[in-house]
Amino acid sequence: MTVLNQQRVNNTHNHLSNPKTYPPGQHVVTGNQSAAIGAFLSGVQVVAAYPITPQSPVVEELAKFIEEGELPAEFVPVESEHSAMGVCIGASIAGARVFTATCANGLAYMCEQLHWASGSRLPIVMACVNRAMAAPWSVLNDQQDSMSQRDAGWIQLFCKDNQEIIDTVIQAYRIAEKVYLPVMVCYDGYILSHTVMPIEVPDGNKVKKFLPPYIPHTPIDISKPVNINPVTLADPRLNADGVLCHGYMEHKYLHHQSLRNSLKIIEEIDIEYKDIFGRSLGGLFSEYKTDDADVVIICAGSLSKMCTLVIDMLREQNVPIGLVSLRAYRPFPNQKLSVALKNKKLILTIDKSLSYGYQGPICIDIKSSLFESGISSTVISFVAGLGGRDIKPYEIAEKAYDYWNKFNKKELTNEIIYESQWINCKY
């Protein structure tokens, strides 16, 4: 490793271990504050972001840390999300631990750079504060933005509450730097981003131990300039130094394999995190009362926390129901999920987004996972909460109760099975 890079690596953890304003312990904070504290504790060195509602407070909080000298990082104000990711890519290549945050149309504007980041195998961590995509214009919550970037080659992790946001950001750096892939930390706009709730801020010294310094996969050296990401042809060929290099397809194969391997890494790191901090986030997904369940609700994000209440309600009405709350959406834990869903008769997926023209993205992936495993459960796709439409626990409970009864009476028609059921849509 070059001297330059060694210095950068050493700098990774030069900052104070704990933020003055948020010492270790209990704090009542918003989801956005939680994400910012997570980035602080992870010792980020470069933050580049463009403000967009409801993400702005994350960046404001980090800008404050940096401006007040608490966090010795470089804050790069940019003119667009596309540039924000561009700065992150450059800084990450140079060996810095970088953070950014965006949502909705900002994320869409970043789309091209998302592929550059993942294709370059850069461990960038980005908060995606889930918000509806325009048009029509909406600043409110659903999950269409991150779901639309499903195939950008990033790891996507969903958070249930503000505690999971800070824990996921810290874990994300560990995962990202181990598999050399960027991680999108997704949490619901407003419902979490602007809502205060109690969280436990971990001790920065412990985070330092948990998170070793970032070592770039390809250290760069000023004395030996190289062309990063040169045009890659279809087939492997010799480079200027006479070394046989991968073709495009080999690069993509390795990219994909790393994503698949990260299934194991995400779980392992979560276990390690629990050993140190006493909290597990469930690894790839968490289950609630699924052991003896015949019906299972599957969803992601804050809705899955609310659904624990729904399960309790339905259990009191003798519905044998459980909950799978999805944490890792990409890589998709298809094999593990099919084990968890074995012997379940009815599966109700609730998406806060839609693959327009088909069904909810979670539903589609669940169906294909079950098919691979030869499980023939009935899967029903529910769509809820688009563009900030409020979701009440009783609404979900009523639907689940209704469809479980329909299932038992064999009243589930083709129209129900092949289409999506919209919850609380007034059309």
- Beta carbon of residue 91, minimum distance to other proteins (angstroms, whole number): 33
Which residues neighbour 398 within 8 Å (Cβ) at sequence distance 6 or greater? none
d(CA 350, CA 328): 16
Question: Residues 394 to 413: which contact other proteins by CB under 8 A?
Answer: 394, 397-398, 401-402
- Total number of residues binding other proteins (CB under 8 A)? 32
Q: Are 211 and 43 in contact (CB under 8 A)?
A: yes
Question: Residues 303 to 342: which contact other proteins by CB under 8 A?
Answer: 305-306, 308-309, 312-313, 316-317
- Beta carbon of residue 198, minimum distance to other proteins (angstroms, whole number): 6
Q: Are 193 and 54 in contact (CB under 8 A)?
A: yes
* Of residues 22 and 210, the one with the C-beta less far from other proteins: 22
Q: Which of 392, 408, 413, 417 binds other proteins (CB under 8 A)?
A: 392
Kindly give the pairing relationship between strand 285-288 and strand 321-326.
Answer: antiparallel
- Beta carbon of residue 164, minimum distance to other proteins (angstroms, whole number): 13
- Beta carbon of residue 253, minimum distance to other proteins (angstroms, whole number): 41
First to last CA, the chain: 62
190 binds other proteins (CB under 8 A): yes
Stretch that binds other proteins, among 78-86, 108-116, 119-127, 299-307 (CB under 8 A): 299-307
The label of the residue with tokens 């409110």 reads 140
197 binds other proteins (CB under 8 A): yes
Buried b (16+ CB within 10 A) or exposed e, 368-386: ebbeeeebebbbbbbbbbb
60 binds other proteins (CB under 8 A): no
134 binds other proteins (CB under 8 A): no
* Of residues 53 and 373, the one with the C-beta less far from other proteins: 53
- Beta carbon of residue 261, minimum distance to other proteins (angstroms, whole number): 34
- Beta carbon of residue 336, minimum distance to other proteins (angstroms, whole number): 24
Using CA of residue 317, residue 321, residue 325, residue 329, what is the dihedral sign? negative
Buried b (16+ CB within 10 A) or exposed e, 163-174: bbbbbbbbbbbb
Q: Are 55 and 47 in contact (CB under 8 A)?
A: no
Stretch that binds other proteins, among 59-67, 89-97, 244-252, 383-391 (CB under 8 A): 383-391
Closest of 270, 265, 271, 277 to residue 207, by C-alpha: 277
- Beta carbon of residue 206, minimum distance to other proteins (angstroms, whole number): 23
Q: Which of 77, 119, 212, 393 binds other proteins (CB under 8 A)?
A: 393
Which residues neighbour 315 within 8 Å (Cβ) at sequence distance 6 or greater? 289, 321
Cis peptide before 57 (omega within 30 of 0): no
The DSSP symbol for 323 reads E
272 binds other proteins (CB under 8 A): no
* Of residues 200 and 267, the one with the C-beta less far from other proteins: 200
Please report, as ranges, the residues that interact with other proteins according to CB under 8 A.
Answer: 26, 28, 139-141, 190-192, 194-198, 302, 305-306, 308-309, 312-313, 316-317, 388, 390-394, 397-398, 401-402
